[in-house]
Amino acid sequence: MENLIISNLTKGFFKKRALNNFSYSFKKGMVYGLIGPNGSGKTTLMKTIYGLVKPTHGTIFMNGEKISYKTRENIAFMPTEDIFMPDLTGNEILNFYSNNFSDFSLEKANRILEKMKLPLDEKINTYSTGMKMRLKVTLCLARDVELYMFDEPLNGIDVISKDLIKDTIISMTTENSTLIISSHALNEMELILEQVIFLNEGDIIRDINLEELRHTENKSLESLYWEVYNV
């Protein structure tokens, strides 16, 4: 069943179009991969779905409701850039999420963070890039929603944390949730993804079911990437 329906979505920044008449229906229980080179529209698409970027044209509906600040109650989004106020501590940020998202589980967040070994009493401006990434991923993973979106969740993450993040993502895949993940780490994400959408200049150039691909052609996601983008 489709829970996220995007129709003719266009987003222009000055003369450039980040999304170009993008239409797609995301189904429940699926894990989608957004693949494409830098500037292909992956981040803009995710931010538009979350309501952080406003579309120039087109519509997005989540369970029949037009995207707005209200739909954020049912969407967890991990952006790729820093989002934290530098003077806050890790604990203050966890409390902020716990107070503002009714589905956020502080207990689950602490369980994940225990393994990631983050100094939660310290200010964010003392955190490294990897530490901020781990905190961002956790904030997303500790929510209980229908749609999860991760923009480059493995960027700057060490090997141990990578496995933990991947395992947690896999454990979240239920028949009621949809996951959308954008990543350049194709080999690492291949086992998680079910459907892969290749983007270029804001448009879909290929939409492939990885299961079918494995059965019909014996190709890895990375070799497919090279083929699609003619690299």
Partner 1 sequence: MYNLIKLELLQRKNIIKILGIVLVMAQLYAFYCYYNNDINNGIGSLFIVGFISMIVYTFSSFISFSKDINERERSMVFMVPKTGFSIISSKFITTFILGSLLFLIYIGGFIGNVLIVNPSLIGDFSIEFQNFSIKLAFLTIISFSSFLALVYLSIIITKTFLSRLKFRLIITLVVMSILSKIFNIIIWNNVESADLISSSILLIPVIAITIVMLWISGWLIDNKTDF
CB of 12 to partner 1, least distance (A): 11
- Classify residue 129 by burial, with Cβ atoms within 10 Å: 0-12, 13-18, 19+: exposed
Of 78, 82, 203, 99, which Cα lies nearest the Cα of 147?
78
Residues, the chain, total?
A: 231
> Is residue 99 involved in binding partner 1 (CB under 8 A)?
yes
Out of 29, 39, 79, 156, name the contact with partner 1 by CB under 8 A: 79
**Residue ranges of the alpha helices (H) in the chain?**
42-50, 90-100, 106-116, 129-141, 159-172, 186-189, 210-216, 221-228
Considering only 23, 25, 85, 217, the residue that binds partner 1 (CB under 8 A) is 85
Residue 121 as a binder of partner 1 (CB under 8 A): the answer is no
Query: Of 22, 77, 148, 150, which lies in the binding site for partner 1, with binding defined by CB under 8 A?
Result: 77
Contact 168, 144 (CB under 8 A): no
Contact between 107 and partner 1 by CB under 8 A: the answer reads no
Closest alpha carbon to 76 in 2, 7, 163, 141:
141
3 state SS of 222: helix
Give Dmax (Cα) for the chain.
53
Q: Does 231 bind partner 1 (CB under 8 A)?
A: no
Instruction: Kindly state whether residue 92 participates in binding partner 1, applying the rule CB under 8 A.
Output: yes
Cβ nearer to partner 1, comparing 84 with 150: 84
Q: Which is nearer to partner 1, 96 or 229 (CB)?
A: 96
CB of 79 to partner 1, least distance (A): 8
Q: How many residues bind partner 1 (CB under 8 A)?
A: 27
Q: Which of residues 16-55 bind partner 1 (CB under 8 A)?
A: 47, 50, 52-54
Show the tokens assigned to 157: 């993450």
* C-alpha closest to that of 170 among 146, 141, 145, 143: 141
Task: Tell me which of 7, 37, 72, 195 binds partner 1, using CB under 8 A.
Answer: 72
- In the list 38, 69, 107, 230, the residue contacting partner 1 (rule: CB under 8 A) is 69
Distance (Å, whole) CA 119 – CA 13: 38
The only residue of 2, 16, 23, 82 in contact with partner 1, by rule CB under 8 A: 82
Site residues for partner 1 per CB under 8 A: 14, 47, 50, 52-54, 68-73, 77, 79, 81-85, 87-88, 92-93, 96, 99-101
